[in-house]
Structure 1
Amino acid sequence: MTSPIPVLCIFACIAFCHAMPQGNLNLLDNAILQDLNDKHENYIEFDQDNEIGANQDQCDDKNSTINSVDLFPYPLHASCRVEWTFGVDCTEVAARLVNQIDLWTGPENCEGGGEKCLYKVTSQSKRRLRGTHTTPVSFYVDNFSFRFRPTRYGCYSKSYSYSTVPYAVLDYGTNYCNMFNLIDGSGLNKEPNFSEKTCDKICTQYTTADCEVY
């Protein structure tokens, strides 16, 4: 059974933080978000010691110190890290993702429900695509990034999404869906050699995510 201790600690922290003066609270919020951004940016950097399959290693490692599943089965902040492989080259992957973002920039696609709207590209280079997704009801903003590397079979991507709400813990799989909906909408998951590697430990509520809703 999941221990309530981490959840109680989180709510205690929220109560304490919101009792702080607003100026101090803003500084704390900014520090939390900067730390989150730095950690995720470091995660998607490619180097000789950071090979393909890092997510699978983390998900398979029962003794990982990243997070204790016995205490809390998800990241302590609402976020998601995913590795994807695609059977097309990285230039095409990036172009199709950007095209899908452009199609879903306005609110129109969410008028009947779901959250496949309000996407925005914030920066783009040959090997990186960054953007934001805003939820259409509460207008929470999530940051996401895709980092690309060519492979002999197509393209490999290390990607992340995280909530910019400093004390967000659970997200109903929204951060996973922020990225998967773009991949699904652009048809990249229908290409040969498509694969996905993640788990609840590094992707909040991944196994219960409903991307038609979120």
Structure 2
Amino acid sequence: MKLVRSESMSVRDKVARARAELAAALVERDDEVDVVLTALLAGEHVLLVGPPGCGKSLLLDGLLAWAGGRKFSVLLTRFTTPEEVLGPVSLAGLKEDRYVRVTAGKLPEADLAFLDEVLRGSSAVLNCLLKLLNERTFDAGDGVVKKVPLKLCVGAANDGPSRTRVRSSQLSSTGSPCGRPWPRSARPPGASGSCGSGTTRRRSRPP
């Protein structure tokens, strides 16, 4: 999927053209395209719920080709460590008694992010994501809180929050599934069922 971006067009025209090209490439995914583009403009995040092969990662790849910037992608499991998402601890820094993360190529330096199976992430990873996604800030360990360039994070899950061991209240953003079956004529091999989408809603922590 290759989207053409013209610098001479207005923002409204750019978004309209991107929407048309994404919707043409992703059959019957107009609602998901609208949700992701709206979240990008509003500075929010998105959670897409649906089976494998229904175009969740392809949608972000197409958006990245249009928007430009750096992308970070990771598949989360209960064994995923914060180092895989935020970057490893600097060995040179440890020799100088400093605890600092090397964030090159990781989430703190990404413009667009794709977190696959985000609901299955460990508590350590989800706690680290909370402030980074909500406030767009990150402390590498040196005590200096810096703004991150993250514009949009798309989380994906094959099952809804009620069918995983992680409660949705633990996430910094969540979505309401609104499933719709992929048309059989355009369904990729192995894909079945529906792919839902939802806009983000921030949840307050329980007292």
Pairwise same-fold verdict (TM > 0.5) = no
Q: TM-score, normalised by structure 1?
A: 0.26
